[in-house]
Structure 1
Amino acid sequence: MSPRPVTQDDSLEDFTARSVTLEGTTKTVHVGGTGPAVIIMPEMPGISPHVARFARWVRDAGYTIYMPSLFGRDGVLLDAQEAAGVFKRACVSAEFHALAGKGASPVTGWLRALARLAHGECGGPGAGAIGMCFTGNFALSMMLEPAMLAPVLSQPSLPLDDPTGIESDAAELTAVRQRLEHDDLTVKAYRFEGDSFCQAKRFEAYRRALGERFLARVLPDDAAASEDLPPFHRAFVTTPHSVMTAHLIDQAGQPTIAARDEVLAFFKTRLQTRQRRKT
């Protein structure tokens, strides 16, 4: 597949836009590929050309992609003003808990149902998921769904007002850790060293909560792209941040490409070669 430019709108025509109703709520989900299911949740301000590029990498590695539209305009390279509006609306939406003390975002219940649906449609041992930035912790909350086997947290940024916090509450973290230990699963996580939205304090909180089941990778800041960034990142993201998307350097040998390939290998181990432990 020829690479598409990430500096212009993406039509997403190689995905099928499905209207999916779960838990009484209907959302558009862009679906494409064959093989086990992987849920790809967009970062702010939505399914950007960079997010779509990452989804195609995963799809082309042998997976069926389910990419839900959670905010923004799908495939559109938003200008800074519109992107800021998307961010502000998400912060006050009842679907998301952007601030500390509120627990997991309510939308994660819908996403667990999506993982269950996707696994039922695609088969295989189970489903994977990756959340990024605003949606970073969602993949962890989705581990309460038995079909979920491969969670990836890329620069999880909530709660916005507590760099030491985790969006999941104590009860959810305990339940997730028990699931990870019972089924011999792990959580992959990524951040840049100097990221102001996802700091070292947050990863330390995940380590305390999940123990050896939390496998973190911290990339050096000089491994982040600094040119051709989308307007939202140029205006509001002043440190290296988006490991798999906007700050990824698409060149062989780059640390961000190595991180992407590590995620693909993680999905392969869990979803294509691993058999679910029998209870």
Structure 2
Amino acid sequence: MQTRQLDAYDPLEDFEPRKITLDGTTKMVHVSGKGPAVIVIPEVPGISPHVARFARWVREAGFAVYVPSLYGRDGEPVDLEVGQAIFKRVCVSAEFRAFGAGGSAPVTKWLRGLAGLAHNECGGPGVGAIGMCFSGNFALSMMLEPAMLAPVLSQPALPLDDDAGLQIASDELNAIKKRLDEENLTVMGYRFEGDRFCKAQRFAAYQEALGDRFISHVLPDSAANPHVPEFFEKVVQTPHNVVTVHLIDEEGQPTRKARDEILAFFALRLRTSTLDGR
């Protein structure tokens, strides 16, 4: 894969930009690769070069990757002032419902539709998805779509006002737990130990709700890349972004191991027709 600067604009020229309308709502989705589909849901402030790098890793691992544009300017490097403005807008957006546990973010309905569309286009046993930060728990809500087989929750940050909140309606959570049990599926979760947006209470709540169907991975803060854009240094302030800005792309690094585990999880679920558990 071509090495790109992570602090410069990424034109995403190796992705096909597609306007996709689902349930009356149109969003831009950047699509690339062949194979079973994986939806990479960007973190705030958007499809940064770091998010695009992860999407390319997914593509190079043998998947068709779908990256929906939910906020920010696609390909733009992370800027402090712009990032703060996007963060504030997303916090008050009804589409994402950043505050208050007990209900799923409305945008997850659109994302479930995207999962169904991607499966129809790409075939295979089903679809995978990874959410990060603001979108971190969206992949769980997407399990209401039958095609979704491989959900990854990376540093799920919502709701912001309840450390143990899961931002999903109880009936939806119960339906998902039933499906996980019946189909022998699992949910992968990743966070840094000292993350102030995704604390231990949240993962404990997932564990209580999903039991051994939730596979928790907690990385030490010392594993995080200390060299991050100013937005993450001044606004996020703690290790947070496991597979993007806080990832250290070097052999033996825990964050690269986390990336490889996620890619292996997608391969396990999406490249075979037999679900043999994990």
TM-score (norm 1): 0.97
Letter in 1 for 2:265: F
- Is the CA contact 2:102–2:166 (under 8 Å) kept in the aligned structure 1? no
Other-structure match for 1:95: 95
Query: Partner residue of 1:144?
Result: 144
- 1:237 alignment partner in structure 2: 236
The whole-number CA distance in structure 2 between the counterparts of 1:14 and 1:102 is 39
CA contact (8 A) 1:125 1:276 kept: no
Q: Does 1:59 align with 2:59?
A: yes
Q: Which residue in the other structure is 1:76 paired with? A: 76
Cα deviation digits, residues 73-109 of structure 1 (max 9, x gap):
1000142111111111111112111011351100000
Taking the TM superposition and a 5 Å limit, the aligned residue runs for 1:203-242 are 203-227=203-227, 229-242=228-241
What are the equivalent positions in structure 2 for 1:11-26 lying under 5 Å apart? 11-26=11-26
1:172 CA displacement = 1.4
Q: Which residue of 2 aligns with 1:43?
A: 43
- Quick one: which amino acid aligns to residue 232 of structure 2? H
Specify the code of the residue in structure 2 equivalent to 1:255: P
Residue-by-residue CA offset, 1:231-260 (whole Å, 9 max, x unaligned) = 321220111000000000010110000000
Deviates more, 1:98-107 or 1:256-265: 98-107
Q: CA RMSD in A?
A: 1.1
Q: Aligned pair 1:251/2:250, yes or no?
A: yes
How many correspondences in the alignment?
276
Contact 2:7–2:78 (CA<8 Å) still a contact in 1? Answer: no
Runs of 4 or more, structure 1, over 3 Å off, are: none
Matched residues in 1 for 2:187 and 2:275: separation?
Answer: 16
Separation of aligned partners in 2, 1:101 and 1:124: 34
> Take 2:163 and 2:26, find their aligned partners in 1: how far apart are those partners?
32
Structure 1: gaps spanning 5 or more residues: none
With over 3 angstroms needed to count, the CA separation of the structure-2 counterparts of 1:102 and 1:184, relative to structure 1, is: closer
Match of 2:5 in 1: 5
CA distance in 2, matches of 1:117, 1:2: 29
CA distance in structure 1 between the aligned counterparts of 2:235 and 2:144, rounded to whole angstroms: 33
- Paired AA for residue 205 in structure 2: A
Aligned mates of 1:42, 1:101 — CA distance in 2: 21
Give me the whole-angstrom Cα distance separating, in 2, the residues matched to 1:197 and 1:78.
19
Gaps of 5+ in 2: none
How far, CA to CA, are the matches of 2:231 and 2:72 in structure 1?
A: 12
Can you list the C-alpha shifts for 1:152-180, whole angstroms capped at 9, x where unaligned? 00000000011111111211111110110
Structure 1 CA distance, aligned partners of 2:234 and 2:13? 29
Asked whether the 8 Å contact 2:239–2:246 carries over to 1, the reply is: yes
Pairs within 5 Å for 1:151-162: 151-162=151-162
Counterpart of 1:263 in structure 2 is 262
- The 1:102/1:205 distance shift into structure 2, 3 A limit, reads closer
